[in-house]
Chains A and B, each alone.
Chain A
Amino acid sequence: MPTTDPLARRYRRLLRWYPRDWRRARAAEVMALLLDTAPPGRTRPTARETVDLVRGGLRCRLGRPASFSVVAWAALATVICGLFTGALASRAAWETSRPQPDRAEAGAILTEVFPGHDLGDIDVPPALFVVYGHALTLRTVKTVLIGDGGEYQESATGATAFGAPPVPAEQIIAVARQRLTDAGWRLYDPQVSAYTGCTDKLCATPLPITDTTLTARRGDTILNASISTQTAADASYLAVELHRAPPPAVVPAGVLGALLGAVAGFLLFGWASRRTEGRRVSGAATFLFGVTMVLWWLPVLLTAPSLVGHHLDEPHPAWHPLWEWLGQPTASLLFLVGAVCALLALGLAAEPRRDRSPVALVD
């Protein structure tokens, strides 16, 4: 009903938070109540009324008014959809990054930071993210999706020096730290680990070995260098990796993607919940949805705490990508099965229903 009353117009706009079917059946009586309770002269809904109608509309979109658990399920679906789409958007934003350092750039850095070391050939990766050292292609995507998703990682330009260190490891570390600082790199606390190695196959003479990892960042480039006190000719005493930090677009893209995905997840969940309410397919749809939530949330709950520990244990010039926090694509098979279950549940919800009133109170 068109109206020129600004208060009525604003109330009507707020009622758009409710699903269309519900509005069609109930908007007139709710409008009557809102206008009956509004004191004369009011032109705008109060903040309390606005919050109340938004909350009521969102709850109404979930259907199943007698169910308390539907709110918890909706929250789970909304958050996980937001996380996945946020991860997808942040991955897309990674494409704004410069490629990993090429030979010229890496060579200049290595010569500057590690002078006098024979680092051999510089290995330049074929893409920003690789699977077993190869760019992701239609052929390798199968590897990622079915079983080996953990091998999908950010690549790095690398170089290695073999044999016994020409100078004591402590000296290599001291020189590298000094040169990194002089060249404007931000240095992080070095990580030191000690273990016992062998000088021969029978390990008759145990040898204490110390590995030191240097981490530094300058601009969008991160350097990881591992310096070992080992002396075996076929093992490395210095291994250096250079890779890119996440480009600036990653965080805003991730946040925007997460928000859009959360909204879409909430609306889809609400639509399917209302469509299956009181129908024979409700049980099957609920079961499929439950399986999806378990398969999508399980990797998150298993991965995120261990990644928090990993972040606290070691210096990180940049956070791990969002998808790794969600256990993806390591658990991509679970994600895929969950996605199939979700699509089946949506398919059941989309089946034509014998039309009964969407609002139980309206005959």
Chain B
Amino acid sequence: MREPTFLILTALASGPRHGYGIVREVTELSAGRVTLLAGTLYTALDRLAAEGLITHDHDETVDGRLRRYYRLTDRGIAALDAETARLRQLTTAAEARLRHLRSRPA
């Protein structure tokens, strides 16, 4: 799973969000490293929907602008769970090796 995909799924893990909400949440989650543009976001949303990981939740109109909300499906939750476990295992392994490296006498 690529980082933008992981970030979008993570953004939706806290509840349904519309496009602008996802963009803001992804920027915050990545500490400003990743700023999704509209074309990239909607290509990713189409793909995630086709894979059954997200789905349309509901629509709202605010100040005359349509806001379409998306949410994770059960498959999406499972995919995010699996990816999180994979990243955690990698992070744990990397941390252990770094600790070992730092503890060695120079």
Residues of A within 8 A of B (CB): 26, 28-37, 48-49, 52-57, 59-60, 64-66, 359-363
Assess the A35–B37 pair: CB atoms within 8 A: no
Interchain residue pairs A-B with the least CB separation, the first 8? A56-B39, A32-B65, A52-B39, A65-B46, A66-B50, A33-B19, A52-B37, A28-B66
Assess the B56–A49 pair: CB atoms within 8 A: no
Within 8 A of A (CB), among B35-70: 37-43, 45-47, 49-51, 54-56, 65-68, 70
> Can you list 24 pairs linking A and B with CB atoms under 8 Å apart?
A28-B65, A29-B66, A29-B68, A32-B18, A32-B65, A32-B66, A33-B41, A36-B19, A36-B20, A36-B65, A37-B20, A52-B38, A56-B38, A59-B43, A60-B43, A60-B46, A65-B43, A65-B50, A66-B51, A360-B46, A360-B49, A360-B50, A361-B49, A361-B70
- Give bound CA distance, A258 to B35, whole Å: 37
Q: Could you say which residues of chain A place their CB within 8 Å of the CB of B45? A: 361
A361 with B66, Cβ < 8 A, contacts A26-B42, A52-B38 known: no
Q: Could you say which residues of chain A place their CB within 8 Å of the CB of B38? A: 30, 33-34, 37, 49, 52-53, 56
- Give bound CA distance, A182 to B1, whole Å: 70
Assess the B66–A48 pair: CB atoms within 8 A: no
A363 with B56, Cβ < 8 A, contacts A32-B65, A52-B37, A66-B51 known: yes
Q: Could you say which residues of chain A place their CB within 8 Å of the CB of B39? A: 49, 52-57
Assess the B19–A52 pair: CB atoms within 8 A: no
- Give bound CA distance, A57 to B41, whole Å: 12
- Give bound CA distance, A86 to B47, whole Å: 34
Decide if B11 is an interface residue (CB 8 Å cutoff).
no
Q: Could you say which residues of chain B place their CB within 8 Å of the CB of A30? A: 19, 38, 42
- Give bound CA distance, A13 to B45, whole Å: 22
Decide if B72 is an interface residue (CB 8 Å cutoff).
no
Q: Could you say which residues of chain A place their CB within 8 Å of the CB of B67? A: 29, 32
Q: Could you say which residues of chain B place their CB within 8 Å of the CB of A34? A: 38
Q: Could you say which residues of chain B place their CB within 8 Å of the CB of A60? A: 42-43, 46
- Give bound CA distance, A48 to B37, whole Å: 9
Q: Could you say which residues of chain B place their CB within 8 Å of the CB of A26? A: 42
Assess the A361–B18 pair: CB atoms within 8 A: no
**A40, chain B: closest CB distance, angstroms:** 14
**B70, chain A: closest CB distance, angstroms:** 7
Assess the A32–B55 pair: CB atoms within 8 A: no
> Which residue of B20, B42, B50, B66 has the most chain A CB atoms within 10 A of its CB atom?
B42
Q: Could you say which residues of chain A place their CB within 8 Å of the CB of B56? A: 361-363
